[in-house]
Amino acid sequence: MPLVIGNIAPVQLRSDSAHHPGRILAPYKRNNFKTWLIHSDDDGVTWTGDRELVNVTVTDPGVSYEDARPHCDRGMDYFGFHIDSVDELNWRDLGRFAAQLCYHRTGIFHRSNWRSKLTGAWQFVGTGPSKSLQLRSGRVVVPGYHGYVRGLEDDGVLPTSQLYSSVALGHTLITDDGGDTWRMSDDWGEGDGANENEMVELHDGSVLTNSRSLSTGTPQFRLQARSFDQGESFSPTKFTPEIQSPFNGAYGSTLSDGDRTVYHASPDPLPAQSYLQIALDALNCNINGTGRTRLSVWKSTTAGYTYSDKVLLDAGASAQNSFQWMGKTPVLLYEQSDPDPMFTVEAIVARKAVEDLTVQLPHRFVFRTVDI
């Protein structure tokens, strides 16, 4: 298996920290399975200490952490749907799967055939991205998530299982000594799942996490959950109705002033008008075939319970982003993608067929202040 590095979630320890003041801790994932940590003591100029964090995942019974390997042959059949391969496609299962997407809008996390499978060894594991959080107490919490299929890769394999590695739940990695030792939190309350997420600390010491939702099989909104014990446990995730998500979900970034004000950045697409959406509407299918466009920022002054203000930052295509403070000014780093050129009739028809529901590759990064 080739080495793939990602899901980095860095944090710089405050100058008043009891352990390693000023150090940047950068936990990250290798092949979305094992967690590693590297650090810098000179503001990111040089990096050292690259090491694996052991026992911060769940393995198969009787299998040591060192010997644990993901089940790379596990696909949608794990959830009872034989729909992974073009050659072995079960049309009855495909119909059942499509019906659940279209008409069971409480979401798959509330269906017994899905929920019963959210147990056992973790198969697809992520941290963050794009940052961890140091609490006022000095503790560092790393947002994490874990799924139970990895996604199949082979000729003739459909991308369904790749997407459904995002049928995931949340967890937290915790250190109280500046990253020297680590442990896992209790299981989060399941609610409606969790995925890529960021955390902020609020006025009362509680921790709020804002998470990507599955969206493809759940209502298309962001998720939130709260911890009142410094990240040891979290409430079940709940949908945030003011903040929508595109059809295949999207990463988002969250920031707080440490009091009651919370900022969140993620796509806010307009309703789809593609040929695909016309077909979905004709079937009374409650799916919005939207893509990752119209990067926007929402603002809450009620500790994230409601989001009353919103501003559009970029009308084009955008996916990953990261919120930070620069002094007292919120700043955002984000990807910007240009639309594919449409020089042929085929390209125009293809664009009309699905609009922005395509794989996006960034053309540039944008760094800007945010006024809201």
Exposed/middle/buried for residue 31 (C-beta within 10 Å: 0-12, 13-18, 19+): middle
- Evaluate whether 261 touches 208 at the Cβ level (below 8 Å): no
pLDDT given at position 151: 83
Total Cβ atoms within 10 A of residue 260: 15
33-60 average pLDDT score: 96
pLDDT given at position 77: 92
In tens, the pLDDT along 218-247 reads 999 999 999 999 999 999 999 999 999 999
Q: Is 101's pLDDT higher than 90?
A: no
Bigger pLDDT: 8 or 85? 8
Q: Is 109 helix (H, G, I), strand (E, B) or coil?
A: helix
High-pLDDT (> 70) share of the chain, %: 99
Q: Is 157's pLDDT higher than 90?
A: no
pLDDT given at position 153: 81
In the numeric block, the tokens 């911890």 are attached to 227
Alpha helices for the chain (secondary structure H)? 91-103, 112-115, 160-163, 275-282, 345-354
For helices 345-354 and 275-282, the axis angle rounded to 10 degrees is 40
pLDDT given at position 287: 92
Give the pTM: 0.94
**Residues contacting 327, CB < 8 A, separation 6+:** none
pLDDT given at position 156: 80
pLDDT given at position 1: 63
pLDDT given at position 78: 94
The closest alpha carbon to 11, from 170, 142, 193, 183, belongs to 142
Q: Is 257 helix (H, G, I), strand (E, B) or coil?
A: coil
What rounded mean pLDDT belongs to the chain? Answer: 93
Low-confidence winner among 24-28, 96-100, 142-146 (lowest mean pLDDT): 96-100
In tens, the pLDDT along 176-206 reads 999 999 999 988 888 999 999 999 999 999 9
In tens, the pLDDT along 287-346 reads 999 999 999 999 999 999 999 999 999 999 998 999 999 999 999 999 999 988 888 888
Exposed/middle/buried for residue 190 (C-beta within 10 Å: 0-12, 13-18, 19+): middle
pLDDT given at position 235: 96
pLDDT given at position 88: 79
Report DSSP state, residue 22.
Answer: T
